[in-house]
Amino acid sequence: MFQRIEVVDSHTCGEPTRVVVDGGPDLGDGSLQQQLARFQQSFDDYRKAVVNEPRGSDVVVGALLCRPQDPDCAAGVIFFNNVGFLGMCGHGMIGVVATLQHLGRIDQGVSRIETPVGVVTVTLRDDQSVSIQNVPSYRLAKSVSIDVDGIGAVSGDVAWGGNWFYLVREPMIEMQSTSRKTLLQTASAIRRAINQQGYPDVDHVELFGAPIAPDSDSRNFVLCPGFQYDRSPCGTGTSAKLACLAADGELRPGQTWTQEGILGTVFHGSFEWMDESEGKIVPTINGRAHLVSEATLLLDPSDRFCWGIEADQV
């Protein structure tokens, strides 16, 4: 009577990832963009059933393993959350690597994994840390000024790190004394303003403040789609940050940037130029995930909430 979906849950620096390892929708063959389009058009109920309440929560990022088009890739993966789909997800990719190792599908060393926005090269080390060489990242626009309701003048950069980000330069935020609720509301107001100002695709906003640990370079708060914030320092957000630092000449190729997140956990990032004249970099992000559960989700067709509860209905 139940439909069953097998998942492995992990967290990366505090941010959860739920990988669907069996029982998910079969998206067929073709490119990851084509498979993503099928997921969006025909199987959106699965997205809600896996990550939304009552089985998940607004903060969970889901990852569906699928067939890669490139036979050299160990897997394909599509990331999703409480309101839709993500191009790439850095913390999620680290969780996927830990899960694939747990399933015996990859070994330590280098593997390639396909996403809808490109191939990511991952390295699993014997201390269980994972480096992800992310998709090419770049800054699209520098110092875009916006006027934000209730806040005033804000300036920031628009950059791609596998998702679209607005990275706030001014004002810097005092993170420790500001409540999460205020940070969420501030970042959401900024997102509305930058979307209205000609950047409708920006769905993540990164606020920055002084780090707490003496060996970190910066602390961030990252607003994600679905009125949620990243508990980790955000892999795609750190990639976008590296692209801005590279473009401003504030970080050299190979130099390490330690990005602290809102829980005090860190990602170490660095970059190599892909095309310096175009400001395109190849970022590498290093972190680790911990597995927390293996579970079977049960879908009971007689349950009113069998396919999850819409995020905006909770």
- The residues annotated with a catalytic role in the active site are 89, 234
Stretch of 42-50, 83-91, 104-112, 193-201 lying at the interface with ligand PYC (CB under 6 A): 83-91
How far apart are CB 117 and ligand PYC at their closest, in Å?
Answer: 11
The window from 136-144, 178-186, 231-239, 291-299 that contacts ligand PYC (CB under 6 A) reads 231-239
Interface residue with ligand PYC among 19, 61, 100, 202 (CB under 6 A) is: 61
**Judged by CB under 6 A, does residue 89 bind ligand PYC?**
yes
* Residue 203 near ligand PYC by CB under 6 A: no
Upstream peptide bond of 54 is cis (omega within 30 degrees of 0): yes
Contact 247, 139 (CB under 8 A): yes
Q: Are 284 and 269 in contact (CB under 8 A)?
A: yes
* Interacting residue with ligand PYC among 48, 91, 219, 268 (CB under 6 A): 91
111 is a contact residue toward ligand PYC (CB under 6 A): no
Q: How far is the CB of 250 from ligand PYC (least distance, A)?
A: 21
Which of left, alpha, beta for 296 (phi over 0: left; psi -120 to 50: alpha)?
beta
- Told to check if 90 binds ligand PYC by CB under 6 A, we report yes
Dihedral over alpha carbons 46, 48, 50, 53 (to 10 degrees): -150
Which residue stretches of 104-234 are H helix?
Answer: 180-196
Q: Which positions ≥6 away from 222 have C-beta within 8 Å?
A: 204, 205, 206, 207, 229, 230, 233, 234, 237, 261, 262
Q: Which of 9, 114, 217, 230 binds ligand PYC (CB under 6 A)?
A: 230
235 binds ligand PYC (CB under 6 A): yes
Dihedral sign computed on CA atoms, order 43, 46, 52, 53: positive
| 95 binds ligand PYC per the rule CB under 6 A | no
- Interface with ligand PYC includes 11 (CB under 6 A)? no
Minimum distance from residue 291 beta carbon to ligand PYC (Å): 17
Give the N- to C-terminal CA distance of the chain in Å, as an integer.
27
Residue 177 burial (10 A CB sphere; 0-12, 13-18, 19+)? exposed
Which residues between 205 and 224 bind ligand PYC (CB under 6 A)? Answer: 224
Considering beta carbons, is residue 63 or 299 the nearer one to ligand PYC?
Answer: 63
Residues 179 and 175: their CA atoms lie apart, in Å, by 8
Is residue 13 near ligand PYC by the rule CB under 6 A? no
Q: Which two tokens stand for residue 195?
A: 């979307």
Q: Which residue type does 248 have?
A: D
Among 9, 15, 203, 260, binds ligand PYC (CB under 6 A): 15
Q: How far is the CB of 187 from ligand PYC (least distance, A)?
A: 13
Give the binding range for ligand PYC (CB under 6 A) out of 89-97, 173-181, 240-248, 300-308. Answer: 89-97
By the criterion CB under 6 A, which residues form the site for ligand PYC? Answer: 15, 61, 86, 89-91, 224, 230, 232, 234-236
